[in-house]
Structure 1
């Protein structure tokens, strides 16, 4: 079973490398969105420090959403999703591996790039560290929630719009706690309240989201 899951993870990573336009587009959106904002609001350091955490987190959230459609849609289009469902592996583990592959190719690059982009907003070193940690906790949760939405909207006409409507309300707590932790650190307060809540949400997501996404996939494929 472990060998099959490793092969599935490697397969999904290779597919992203071959069709890297989606991942690159999401990354460029994150860079452009965060880079244009300081040009629009001006170069006042106090203002940039105030709005920076929210801007970086909103841009990361929207960037993660851009690639959610490819979680299951490509496998569904070529018929391989049905074969994955029939594998002698629990569907929840298959969903978890595909979600991990999505985060490694869509969420992790945002985490690594965020500290560099945070310099544009005059964030101090400790705030950049909290930003990185909050994204490291929050972006996997975005992928887990997105997997549920992608499974529910699989094969539906206009699924991209419906997917956004479904997942955006669920993303709001992640955005509030993530940006709030960075803002608290930037203003000299403790960020551990928001980070702890993000960690708790991530644990809940890891435990329950694969089961919910797997159940949604079975419904969509019937």
Structure 2
């Protein structure tokens, strides 16, 4: 499993255009919001956590098509399916999701504090929102693995993945934004929505790879 993680991490870093595309898209989303909302700095600070979460969510969906597509094209996916033993394919998918999150989504979390400054968010709000992104974005990757597995046989399934995955990520978005707002809006609780967000990440860390493994077996059949 460590060898697989290192392999996917190395391949992802060598083809770093996907991660750069996600970061640039994230920057574009955040940069245009002030022009649409106007010069109200207090309003920008209040909606900052929601905007960061929306930008991170949409940017995370960009690279999901590559999660299994490259392995299918070079035959690696067939070898994984042939050598699959009981429950091991789900573990393999879990490792691939971790590598994908590290390469494509973690850079979004890293640049989030800088983009939070564009939204006039206080330092505490930036720190809390970044923490929620760190805890919640893995759930988006695990959910996205199911969509990527369902369309792995299609030549251009990127848009279809977004259509399938986006509704399932709404609970993650709701509790991520609710936890982030606690630092910029008085009397909003932080711990309950953050704990639910962490629980969702753990839940999808188990369910997502298992469902993706089942979808991959069905696609192979």
- The answer to whether the superposition gives a TM-score over 0.5 is yes
Larger relative helix fraction? 1
Map 1:52-201 to 2 at 5 A: 52-87=48-83, 90-188=88-186, 189-201=188-200
Structure 2 unaligned blocks of 5 or more: none
Matched, 1:47 2:43: yes
Match of 2:6 among 6, 10, 23: 10
Report the RMSD for the aligned CA atoms in angstroms.
1.4
- Give me the whole-angstrom Cα distance separating, in 1, the residues matched to 2:134 and 2:162: 22
Matched, 1:28 2:27: no
How far residue 184 of structure 1 moved from its aligned partner, in angstroms, is 2.7
Q: How many residues align?
A: 218
How far residue 110 of structure 1 moved from its aligned partner, in angstroms, is 1.1
CA contact (8 A) 2:19 2:107 kept: no
How far residue 69 of structure 1 moved from its aligned partner, in angstroms, is 0.3
- Give me the whole-angstrom Cα distance separating, in 2, the residues matched to 1:150 and 1:119: 33
How far residue 13 of structure 1 moved from its aligned partner, in angstroms, is 1.1
- Give me the whole-angstrom Cα distance separating, in 1, the residues matched to 2:160 and 2:172: 20
- TM-score for both structures, normalised by structure 2: 0.94
Runs of 4+ displaced beyond 4 Å: none
- TM-score for both structures, normalised by structure 1: 0.93
